[in-house]
A and B are shown apart, each in its own frame.
Chain A
C-alpha cells in the first residue's frame, strides 16, 4: 500500500502537542528537575541527586518520617471510609424505590451532597461541629460528650470521616442503584419460584450483578480519598498536632510552608507514582473481571 505523504498533517497535531507540553510535560519535567536539587532561596539551587528519594523512604529522617506517617494515616482513612461507604451505599440503594415519583425525589436528594464544592463541605462541617455555635458540636457537648475536633484527635478523625461519608456515600449508592436497575425482572421472578429468601436474593442475584459497579465505586472512592486535601484542611487544618495531616496536606506544607521545593518535588513524584500503580492494579482487575464473561463453547 502506498501511503500519501502529507506534511501538513503535523500542523493539525501541533495544537494538541503544545497544550500537552505546557500542561503536562513541562511541569512534570520541572518537578523532576526540582526533585534532584536543594534550594536555600534566592533562586540558588544545588545538586542533590537521589538524596531526597532516599530520605523519603527512610523513616528515621524528618522527611521520611513525615511522609510515611502521613501515608499510613491516609491509607487508614481510605480503608475506614471504604468500609463504611460501600456497605452503606448498598443498603441505601437497596432501600430506594424502584418506580414512581419517589425515584426522582430520592435521586435528587442523593445527588445534592455530590454537587457541593469541597471547600464548602469543609466549611459546613467546620461550623456544624463547633462546640460554641455549631448545631452538632453544641448538641453533643450539651448531651455531656466532651466533643471538640480542634483539641481531641479522635473527635477530629470522627468529624473528617463522617464528613466524607456524608459527602460521598451518595456516589456509591447511585452507582449501586444503577447496577440494581439493570437486573431483569425475570431474575427476581425465578428467585421467587425457587423459594429464595430476601438474603438469598441479595447474595445470589443482586450482589453478583452489582460487582462491576461496586468495583468502579471502590476505585473512585479510593483514589479520591487517597488524594483528599480540601475538606480536612478546612475543618482541622491537619490537626490537632499532625493527627489528620494526610499526604497532600503534608506536601503543601513542605512546598509552600517551608518552600522546600526539592523535598516537595520528590514527595509529589512518589505520591504520583503510588496513584499510578494503584490505578493500574484496579484497571487490570476490572479488565480481567470483564474477560470472564464470554461463554465458552462446549455444551450441547
Chain B
C-alpha cells in the first residue's frame, strides 16, 4: 500500500541524448493516491505502457524519479518493488496447477508453507478459483488465466499497487463485463492502488475514479470521467473521449463571441486576450449542439447523413469546410438539406493551439 509519486519522469528508448520529441514518455510529474483506481487512456503508441513498465521496474527511466510513500525506489529492481502486474496476454506457468501458480510468488520469497496455503486459499476464494485449484492452469480459458495472473499479484500481502496492461484484450466481450466488475469489487474490498492501461474509453471510464489521458508521450489531462467529458483540457481529449467525439472547429474569438464562417456564436465567458499567433478553435460536444429548422439567427449547415444510435440521433453536417456532429432533438423531422445549429453557450470551449483557454466569467 503506497502513494506513488512520479517526479519529472521521462523515458527514451533511443537513449538519453535523443531529442525530447522522440521520447516515448516526456517528463511527467504526478501523484497516484493510495487506494485510487486509475486508468491510463490513450491510443496505441502514446506511452502508456512505457509509463506502466517504468512504475513496475521492467524499464529503467532515462531521467526522473519514482517515489513510493516518499521513498525513492527508482534504482530498485522489479523484485524489490512491491508491484504486481497483469499483462495483455495471460502469463501462466504451464506445468503448474492453479494453486501452484498462485503460490509461486510466495514460494520464491521463502514464505512458510502454512502461510502460503492460507493466503492462496483466501485469494482463490476472492477470485472464484477455488474449484480449479488442483487443475492444470494451461487447460483453463483465457479469462480464468487472467484471474490467475491477477491472483499471483494479490497473494502477496505487501503489494503496493497492481498494474494492468490492457488485461481484457483477449477476453470474450460478455466475460469482459464480468471480469471488469470483479476488478471494481476487488478494488473496493482490498483498498489497493490500481493502475489500468487501456485504449478503450469505455473500459477506462467505467473502471477508474481518475482517468489519465495520454497523447504522444504526454499526459494531456487527468481527471474524473465527468471532468474529461465536460471540460476537456486538450482538443485531443475532446475527440478521443465521447462517441461521437467533440466538434473542433477553427474560429475567431473575441470577448463573448466566436465567429465561424461569418456567423457569430455567443460564449458563456469572456475571452479578452488570446495568445497572439495561436491557432484558435472552439470545441463543443455533439450533445450540446442541436439541429433546428433554419432561421436567421442560427448557423446554417448542410446535412450529410443521420446516425441513429437508437436512444439518440446525431446529424453529420457541414458548415463550409468544417464538419459537425449535432444532436437531433426527439420528434424533429429532419429536412433534406439545410438546418440551423443551436449551440449551448455554457458548453462551448475555446482552445488555443489545442489547449483549453479559461475564459473570465
Please give the residue numbers on chain A whose beta carbons come within 8 Å of chain B beta carbons, in ascending order: 184, 186-187, 189-190, 192-197, 200, 203-205, 207-209, 292-293, 295-300
Whether A190 contacts B91 by the Cβ 8 Å rule is yes
Known: A186-B87, A204-B96, A208-B93. A194 touches B108 (CB 8 A): yes
Whether B91 contacts A186 by the Cβ 8 Å rule is yes
The answer to whether the Cβ of B210 comes within 8 Å of any Cβ in the partner chain is no
- Enumerate chain B residues within 8 angstroms of A189, measured Cβ to Cβ: 53, 56, 58, 78, 85, 87
Indicate which residue in A193, A205, A295, A300 contacts B78 across the interface (CB closer than 8 Å): A193
Indicate which residue in B53, B77, B129, B139 contacts A295 across the interface (CB closer than 8 Å): B139
Within 8 A of A (CB), among B65-94: 77-79, 83-85, 87-89, 91, 93-94
- Enumerate chain B residues within 8 angstroms of A184, measured Cβ to Cβ: 89
Give 3 closest A-B pairs by Cβ, nearest first.
A299-B144, A190-B91, A194-B105
CA A295 to CA B132, docked complex, whole Å:
14
- Enumerate chain A residues within 8 angstroms of B91, measured Cβ to Cβ: 186-187, 190
The answer to whether the Cβ of B104 comes within 8 Å of any Cβ in the partner chain is yes
Known: A295-B141, A296-B139, A300-B143. A193 touches B95 (CB 8 A): no
- Enumerate chain A residues within 8 angstroms of B346, measured Cβ to Cβ: none
Which partner residue on chain B sits nearest A184 by CB separation? B89
- Enumerate chain A residues within 8 angstroms of B175, measured Cβ to Cβ: 300
- Enumerate chain A residues within 8 angstroms of B139, measured Cβ to Cβ: 292, 295-296
CA A297 to CA B152, docked complex, whole Å:
22
CA A300 to CA B177, docked complex, whole Å:
11
For B, the interface residue count at a CB cutoff of 8 angstroms equals 36
Whether A186 contacts B88 by the Cβ 8 Å rule is yes
Q: Name the residue in B139, B142, B144, B152 with the highest tally of chain A Cβ atoms < 10 Å from its Cβ.
A: B139
Task: Report how many A-B pairs have Cβ atoms within 8 Å.
Answer: 79
- Enumerate chain B residues within 8 angstroms of A197, measured Cβ to Cβ: 108
- Enumerate chain A residues within 8 angstroms of B178, measured Cβ to Cβ: 300
Shortest Cβ distance from A192 into chain B, in angstroms?
Answer: 4
Indicate which residue in B57, B58, B77, B132 contacts A299 across the interface (CB closer than 8 Å): B132
Q: A296-B139, A299-B144 are in contact. List 20 more A-B contacts (CB 8 A).
A: A184-B89, A186-B87, A189-B53, A189-B78, A190-B87, A190-B149, A190-B152, A193-B84, A194-B104, A194-B152, A195-B79, A195-B108, A195-B109, A196-B108, A200-B104, A204-B93, A292-B139, A296-B141, A297-B141, A300-B143
Which partner residue on chain A sits nearest B94 by CB separation? A208
- Enumerate chain B residues within 8 angstroms of A186, measured Cβ to Cβ: 87-89, 91
Whether A193 contacts B85 by the Cβ 8 Å rule is yes
Which partner residue on chain B sits nearest A294 by CB separation? B139
CA A297 to CA B139, docked complex, whole Å:
9
Which partner residue on chain B sits nearest A295 by CB separation? B141
The answer to whether the Cβ of B140 comes within 8 Å of any Cβ in the partner chain is yes
Whether B83 contacts A193 by the Cβ 8 Å rule is yes
Whether B140 contacts A295 by the Cβ 8 Å rule is yes
- Enumerate chain B residues within 8 angstroms of A295, measured Cβ to Cβ: 138-142
Whether A190 contacts B85 by the Cβ 8 Å rule is yes
Whether B104 contacts A204 by the Cβ 8 Å rule is yes
CA A196 to CA B88, docked complex, whole Å:
20
Q: Name the residue in A195, A197, A209 with the highest tally of chain B Cβ atoms < 10 Å from its Cβ.
A: A195
Which partner residue on chain A sits nearest B104 by CB separation? A194
Which partner residue on chain B sits nearest A186 by CB separation? B87
CA A207 to CA B94, docked complex, whole Å:
10
CA A11 to CA B79, docked complex, whole Å:
69
